[in-house]
Chains A and B, each alone.
Chain A
């Protein structure tokens, strides 16, 4: 059963990544692209966890954890740059 659930989840997040890619290519402004990149990180975290489940391994969890913890830092930095120009004031 989990097998089918995994296939379904993989497809969903994979499709999500493709949408993100579209947003990176076609977007009204840089902000949308930064958001697309941030969403991409989230999708990747999900895919990593799924991959860990499917391969019965805990190794991938650390990578997902690190992505979760640091991935948003770049997004914040981009936003701060767009808003203020200087990310450390």
Chain B
């Protein structure tokens, strides 16, 4: 399976849960799991090759000019993380199916989860750092949705916002760092960057790039002093916490450090920044975790602590330490995910996560107790579980590490960290499950169903398996991954017994002291509570408040909801930019000679200017303004004809008519005059801005038109290839249906959507509700003449219908070679049809309407699309046209192009959309109390008016 497909699968799959939730919760969870399993299968199929040391790649050029390509590669490191993300993802999906209550929208949850999963898989598979950054930001965004999933909880929303702010800000810093890195190497491809260690570390820009990239990694992995967001993100549902904070989101920062390890690590800067931060984080967070009563808060801080441990190991910069880091990443993911899920089970069954209210659960929830025991003992580092193995190796590494010339700092602090780790792990077991059974649980606890404990149980089994047989189970995986991290051959030797080495003694001290700490928990806690501690959330809010206020002030100033303000700001900015460019650039007058002014076009110009200018005076009378706009439209159309753009002119003429009708239909329900709402000074100011902008545009156009093109125009190509390539001599039409057929396809789709939206809006308006009540109470604001459907008009429109249809067919058929085409033909036919509505009324016309306009739009888009698909059967790319010459008896030889089929689609869509829009709006009047006709006209020659009062 291609790597690009693996990365895309979760994104594609994200569409499914939202849809399938209608088929039930099981279907929803199953399809989500299937998507994840498929992606996991894709990774596993590559596993044998990766284990042999091969690197799988997939390359898709995206924006090569920017160096942004969708390049993916899979090596040991990527495979480990992708496996963790998808494997644990699968368990989380199973767990969430039983965790989420029926009130929670499950479809939404799984959609967010898959989006997040896709972003994470994208990060670990990206070969291009720009692509990696895109996925990196996507994880921030999708985790925001996941953390804030319980929208009704203020903590959820605030926690999500804090996580987004911190990780988003880090992401911004990382963009800077990555761009610097790409600049140093001259390539944005990771595989290239990873081979240029000396070049990068010798560069003056190494340090800034390091700092910026580490900011990104530290914020994501919740390293001190950015650790504060993680505990607040615990307001999320437990499956989210288990997923984000055991295997994925917070591990993204570690992944990045591991990924960049070959080129960034090994310098003193790297060692002192990364190792020190990791060490501080490990000790500090472990200490806080001991005093947290909320189960999830305890686990959150323990996660921060373990992340610090791994960061520290990566910071050491030695191959052995990096190998241990990889091993601990695996171990932490297994026991921490199990613990989070178990904490969720306890919360789910007892309705509380407060350790102070729990205790004695071992008899009531034996299965959960067993799982927690295994996982927590592993977290504490008790042999023979896997946590012991990696902790022991970590302690061994610290012994060999010198910090500022001091041999003692690292081992001592690491032992203290391990001691706290032992203490909180045992506290988790002892204070939740041991002790006497209580009778004041908020809910009667019992073990959950199999579905809920299956996932954590599997993880606990893995904890034991890895612990007992480390080399058999994960030895190869660790070796492959560590080799990928250090960019060389890693040696892996994991065993339970190393002899009486310092690490063993440190371990024994940590366990002993940890148990003592737990024993003295009560007095220690009293001491902890009495000392003042900085409250991260208050500080965060205090910092964010002024920023938010400043941002709000600027936004309100620039964009206060009034369109006038918004336009004024935008226009002035553009004007200022244009003026600046004019002032600072060099400007010489154009070299093209001006064409002479002919008298008749001059008159046309006068009409255009006169009508535009008089709008100034008359614009408050809306009908009059519409008449003036009609004059302007007329002159613009004629201008197109005169300036040799017949296609444009034909379109403009018909569009003008449709526009006038649309506006008149709407004006019926609007006030006929625009009220004076602004002061004279304000109007003067706006007038000044508008005039300046208009004159500026005029000057710009003048400057462009008095010059020759600076570059060869694309027109040459189109003119040369129109006939041989597209089979038509009308270049405009060939561009529309052939060269740029894909654009046209998009445009008609949009047009169709617009027509349907107008229909939907009117439908909503006509349904019962306040808007409809106002419509029903609406009284026409002008007097009405008696004759609704004048005989003359009716006769004239009937006469013109066949002629107009014929003209439409004619314009359509010749469109490929002479001015015309499907778009104009569609408008002509629509106008001819809408005239029947105008003449004989909606009721009469609707009764004779055989074709559904919705269907027309649908057919139009479908035909155009099928025409494009058709070229596949000729083994050519989408929407390649072909043409040929045919001879029928009695007719001249004629040409048929597949583009004509496409044009037919355009034609149908235009007719459908225009008719649907006009017919929909005219329906408003019917609901507002108008009556409709069944007869074509009011005054029958032989009988009296036959108006039926039907609503």
Contact = CB atoms under 8 A, between A and B. Distances in A.
B653 interface: yes
Contact of B614 (A20, A25, A74, A83): A25
A88 B600 contact: no
Given A73-B657, A76-B838, A62 B642 contact: no
Contact of B653 (A18, A20, A70, A81): A70
28 contacts: A17-B603, A18-B603, A21-B607, A21-B611, A24-B610, A24-B628, A33-B627, A34-B627, A37-B634, A44-B634, A47-B600, A48-B638, A59-B646, A59-B819, A62-B650, A63-B641, A63-B646, A69-B807, A70-B828, A73-B838, A74-B630, A74-B660, A74-B661, A78-B626, A86-B922, A88-B834, A88-B918, A89-B842
A84 B788 contact: yes
Contacts of A70: 653-654, 657, 828, 831
A88 B668 CA distance: 10
Interface in B516-539: none
A69 B804 contact: yes
Given A89-B788, A89-B789, 9 more contacts: A30-B621, A44-B634, A66-B650, A67-B637, A69-B807, A74-B660, A77-B660, A84-B784, A88-B837
A37 B668 contact: no
B650 A63 contact: yes
Nearest to B653: A66
A13 B601 CA distance: 12
B800 A69 contact: yes
A84 B623 CA distance: 14
A59 to B, nearest CB: 5
Given A59-B646, A81-B623, A89 B841 contact: yes
Interface size class of A (residues with CB under 8 A): 35 or more
Interface stretch (B27-35, B490-498, B556-564, B925-933): B925-933
A78 B660 CA distance: 8
Given A14-B599, A25-B614, A89-B842, A37 B918 contact: no
Contacts of A37: 627, 630-631, 634
B785 A84 contact: yes
Contacts of A10: 599-600
- The interface residues of chain B, by DSSP majority, are classed as helix
A72 B787 CA distance: 19
A87 B838 contact: yes
Nearest to B785: A83
B572 interface: no
A86 B930 contact: yes
B650 A88 contact: no
Contact of A14 (B600, B649, B787, B932): B600
Contacts of A25: 610, 614
- The interface residues of chain A, by DSSP majority, are classed as helix
Given A10-B599, A17-B603, A69 B828 contact: yes
Contact of B627 (A62, A78, A80, A89): A78
B323 to A, nearest CB: 79
Given A10-B599, A14-B599, A74 B657 contact: yes
Nearest to B646: A59
Contact of A81 (B634, B667, B820): B667
Given A70-B654, A78-B627, A81-B623, A21 B610 contact: yes
A86 B931 CA distance: 12
Contacts of B858: none
Interface string B774-788: 000000111011011
B155 interface: no
Nearest to B924: A86
A59 B641 CA distance: 9
B293 interface: no
B664 interface: yes
Interface in B613-649: 614, 621, 623-624, 626-628, 630-631, 634, 637-638, 641-642, 646, 649
B634 A87 contact: no
Contacts of B766: none
B668 A86 contact: yes
Contacts of B656: 74
B705 interface: no
B950 to A, nearest CB: 12
Given A17-B607, A63-B646, A67-B653, A40 B634 contact: yes
A21 to B, nearest CB: 5
Contact of A77 (B642, B654, B664): B664
Nearest to A83: B785
A66 B638 contact: no
Interface string B829-841: 0010011011001
A88 B841 contact: yes
Nearest to B665: A87
Contacts of B667: 81
Contacts of B49: none
Which 7 pairs, one residue from A and one from B, show the smallest C-beta to C-beta distance? A88-B922, A83-B785, A74-B660, A14-B603, A89-B841, A88-B837, A70-B657
A13 B638 CA distance: 14
A24 B610 CA distance: 9
A77 to B, nearest CB: 5
A78 B930 CA distance: 19
Interface in A15-70: 17-18, 20-21, 24-25, 30, 33-34, 37, 40-41, 44, 47-48, 51, 59-60, 62-63, 65-67, 69-70
Nearest to B788: A89
Contacts of A44: 634, 638
Contacts of B828: 66, 69-70
A20 B603 CA distance: 11
B606 interface: yes
Contacts of B834: 88
Contacts of B631: 24, 37, 40
A84 to B, nearest CB: 5
A88 B842 contact: yes
